[in-house]
Amino acid sequence: MKPLRTIPAPSRRRNARLAAVALAGCVLLSMMTAVPATVPHAQAAVQVAEYVLPAASSQPFGLTRGPDGNLWYVSDTRVGRVQMDAAHTITQFGAVGSGLTQAAFGPDGALWYTEFTTNSIGRCTTDGATSQPVTLAALSRPWGITVGPDGAIWFTERDAARVARIPVTAPHTLTEIPIPGSFPTGITRGPDGNLWVADSGTNSILRISPTAPYTVTPFAIPTPGSDPTDIDVGADGNLWFTERLADKVTRLTPAGTFTEFPVPTAGAGPFGINPGPDGALWFTGQFGHMVGRCTTNGVITEYATPTTPSGPTAIAAGPDGAVWFTEFGADRLGHVTGLPFDTWYLPEGSTAWGFDSTIAIENPNPTPVTARVTYMTSTGPVAGGDIPLVANSTLTVIPLLVLGQADFSTKVECLEGQSIAAERLMTWSPQGSTTALAGHSSIGVTAPAPIWFLPEGSSAWGFECWLLIQNPTASEATCQVTYMIEGEAPQVFSKTVPANSRRTYSMVDDIGAKDASIRVQSNTPVIPERAMYRNERREGHDSIGTPGPSTDYYLAEGSTAWGFTEYVLVQNPNPTATDVDVTYMTDTGPVPKATFTMPANSRETIRVNDDLPDRDLSTRVHGTQGIIAERAMYWDNGTGEAAHDSIGMAVPHTAFRLPFGGCGGLESRETWTLVQNPETVDVQVEVSYLTDTGLGNITFTDTVPAGSRRTYDMSDRMPLGTFAGVSVRCLTAGRRIMSEKALYWLQRSEGADSIGGFED
């Protein structure tokens, strides 16, 4: 009988993992078995589900998001890939070694992981080819792993009291850094460009410089015998780690200041930690059989796992906007949905240079909430006030009344911790015009991140292209901006954004007149946005980026009829070529486009009118590797060309919030809600219009056929002169949709468009 690996006992030392025979090849299963369970929780929307892994005694341990838009985990002798489809299809690959513990994707696009039992470092490509590039000394017991600022793979050798690095490329020369008396486990790249390590041997957090002579600086943890286990960087730009034996989650600034937050459940055994898509820190309670959410202010909420004992270990933000975790003791993966998206960031914003800005905040909750607004200007943060919102309502905020003329980014927080959504509309009078009012809009994002992708971008064809980077953290951000130029090699530039501020960069100043996608990589979490203007600013459009590629991207809006010209922009951020196919979803069903190949680190422009003229449509873009897609639309009603644009989304969701809308009035506004059904069956949807007072709200339902889209005009159901946000929900159990909103005014002389904030 093969002995099982044991969950670590509540002591400083852990039992060695036992060797096992590696699987040959891979096993493909149609889906994971879902264990239906809804757990009591503080926020009624939060749900914890479990998925049983196909192989007994899997003992899943580490997991991470992949560059292909899938979730990847490592278990005793296997590497697993979880697709973000409705079935959560899983594919397993046999590893060379055993005792797989922690994992991280390298700059080569492959998964690197520690093999605790066989004292090795493993590697797995996204198509499942596993290898064992490095073998370590006996009883080294490698544990944590990360990518360093030098692009190398860094890992801890727990029982050998060492931290080590290897280059991604062969011959993988091993460099080991002895740290006497240490017992290092978790490791991460810090916002200051150093490596940071959780070390229970010296009860400290170690800072290690990434270049020789590899200076090691310990920071003593205030609580003795705390057993620090895992460490990562939060959305606030600080380091966060777990104290397993002290039952604490702790914040550590790069300058060395500790703030400890006790976990409510005694004996919970905080283990893994990772920033969630909601901007909070999520952690596992290994001995308490729970997961927890800790805001950057230290407010902790706990959620029990349906199965006990479960022994949860690693935790990570999934590509689907949820939180996933491994249950070492139950051979399951946990899935947390219904996260409270209570904080929103809007990088672009100006009330100077002839611009005006309006912030729309939607409260989809059945109770009143208060939204706190903060503006981040070139001179620092400015309070925008606390804004009360009644239940099921949408309200607008005018930054000009607080800031006067200024360039700014915006942060919106719900003080009650409930989910809200925020969108920003910018308007301006085009040069030489006395009657037109141009504009663009975008939903915000719920958390900063260290990497972002923006597929659209051009400083050619008469366009101005501006990159806005918001840094909401207390540390200066150093950003590497890569322009992936159509038909040319990429170009890279370094940008610096001070703490709690924003900076604006012109594409033409960097690369001249080019078509290019953009990648932003930062040492500390940031949020970028891109704005484009043309014809002396007669027209303009704008969009946020996305923090990760995926093999699928969805674009709910689209039309080549009614005078529209549509472009789909596809970005391939991979170091190798990618095959891409596109499917247009029309009112009569899906229409495929021929597959094409994109070179490494490139972008491709598709003129949809050439493929499918005179049709309303939604789009799905699929790549053999992770890609990103965006859509721009242009039209002219006789007063001059206008445009709008939006990033796509990688995963469909259950519900969407689209805050800025209206119909009629002095500007003759039109609001169109686009609902895309990427499923293979018809779905029923519910659409609600939420007014500023919560009075006069309208809700209706409709059926969206499989592989198609539907369009809803607000003026069909709301009185002219109404301002209202939009809420869209899929009512068909187990099915998901995409939704987007297009806004036009002045007889369609201008328009704006945005995806919505999602909920599951």
pLDDT in tens, 385-425: 999 999 999 999 999 999 999 999 999 999 999 999 999 99
Pair 601, 628: CB distance under 8 Å: no
**Token couple for 349:** 């914003």
**Token couple for 556:** 């709910």
Q: Confidence band (pLDDT; 50, 70, 90) for 431?
A: confident
Mean pLDDT of all residues in 319-343? 96
Predicted confidence at residue 639, as pLDDT, reads: 87
Asked if pLDDT for residue 494 goes beyond 70, the answer is yes
The tens digit of pLDDT for each residue in 548-578 reads 999 999 999 999 999 999 999 999 999 999 9
At which of 316, 337, 358 does a domain end? 337
Residue 17 lies in a domain: no
- Kindly compute the dihedral angle of the four CA atoms of residues 86, 88, 89, 93, in this order, to the nearest 10 degrees: 160
Asked if pLDDT for residue 3 goes beyond 60, the answer is no
The tens digit of pLDDT for each residue in 21-56 reads 222 233 323 333 333 332 222 334 799 999 999 888
Residue 480 lies in a domain: no
Closest CA to 141 of 78, 185, 175, 177: 185
- 3-state secondary structure (DSSP) of residue 377: strand
At which of 297, 318, 337 does a domain end? 337
417 vs 758: CA distance, rounded Å: 16
Mean pLDDT of all residues in 317-332? 96
Residue 481 lies in a domain: no
Per mean pLDDT, which range of 42-46, 272-276, 701-705, 724-728 is the poorest? 42-46
Q: Which domain holds residue 268?
A: 26-337
Residue 722 belongs to domain with CATH number: 2.60.290.11
Mean pLDDT estimate for the chain = 92
Residue 528 lies in a domain: no
The answer to pTM > 0.75 is yes
DSSP letter for 25, please: S
Asked if pLDDT for residue 518 goes beyond 70, the answer is yes
Predicted confidence at residue 34, as pLDDT, reads: 34
Mean pLDDT of all residues in 143-169? 98
Cis, bond preceding 528 (omega within 30 deg of 0): no
Q: Confidence band (pLDDT; 50, 70, 90) for 432?
A: low
At which of 337, 372, 393 does a domain end? 337
Which residues fall within 8 angstroms of residue 457, CB to CB, at 6 or more apart?
Answer: 465, 483, 507, 515, 516, 517, 518, 530, 532
Using the structure block, give the residue that is written with the tokens 């301006």: 428
Residue 526 lies in a domain: no
Residue 199 belongs to domain with CATH number: 2.130.10.10
CA–chain centroid gap for 107, Å, is 18
Per mean pLDDT, which range of 81-95, 115-129, 280-294, 516-530 is the poorest? 81-95
Predicted confidence at residue 24, as pLDDT, reads: 28
Pair 122, 97: CB distance under 8 Å: yes
179 vs 202: CA distance, rounded Å: 10
Asked if pLDDT for residue 259 goes beyond 60, the answer is yes
The tens digit of pLDDT for each residue in 47-104 reads 999 999 988 889 999 999 999 999 999 999 999 999 998 889 999 999 999 999 999 9
Predicted confidence at residue 444, as pLDDT, reads: 97
Query: In this structure, how many other beta carbons lie within 10 angstroms of the beta carbon of residue 623?
Result: 24
The Cβ-side half-sphere exposure at 448, using a 13 Å CA radius, reads 31
Higher pLDDT, 339 or 33: 339
Of the ranges 33-37, 270-274, 319-323, which is most confident? 270-274
Asked if pLDDT for residue 449 goes beyond 50, the answer is yes
468 vs 348: CA distance, rounded Å: 6
Q: Put residue 749 in one of left, alpha, beta given phi > 0 → left and psi -120 to 50 → alpha.
A: alpha
Q: Strand 312-317's sheet: what is its strand order?
A: 33-35, 47-52, 332-337, 323-327, 312-317
Residue 115 has phi, psi (to 5 degrees) of -110, 95
**Token couple for 276:** 């969630």
Predicted confidence at residue 37, as pLDDT, reads: 32
Q: Confidence band (pLDDT; 50, 70, 90) for 733?
A: very high
Mean pLDDT of all residues in 619-644? 95
Mean pLDDT of all residues in 298-310? 97
Q: How far is the first Cα of the chain from the last one, in angstroms, to the nearest whole number?
A: 43
Pair 79, 113: CB distance under 8 Å: yes
Amino acid present at 712: Y
Predicted confidence at residue 435, as pLDDT, reads: 59
505 vs 529: CA distance, rounded Å: 11
User: How many structural domains comprise the chain?
Assistant: 2
* Percent of the chain with pLDDT strictly greater than 70: 94
Predicted confidence at residue 380, as pLDDT, reads: 85
Pair 511, 549: CB distance under 8 Å: no
Asked if pLDDT for residue 2 goes beyond 60, the answer is no
Pair 290, 243: CB distance under 8 Å: no
Q: Confidence band (pLDDT; 50, 70, 90) for 1?
A: very low
664 vs 670: CA distance, rounded Å: 7
Residue 576 lies in a domain: no
DSSP letter for 172, please: -
Residue 757 lies in a domain: yes
Residue 694 lies in a domain: yes
Amino acid present at 660: F
649 vs 756: CA distance, rounded Å: 10
Asked if pLDDT for residue 291 goes beyond 90, the answer is yes
CA–chain centroid gap for 124, Å, is 23
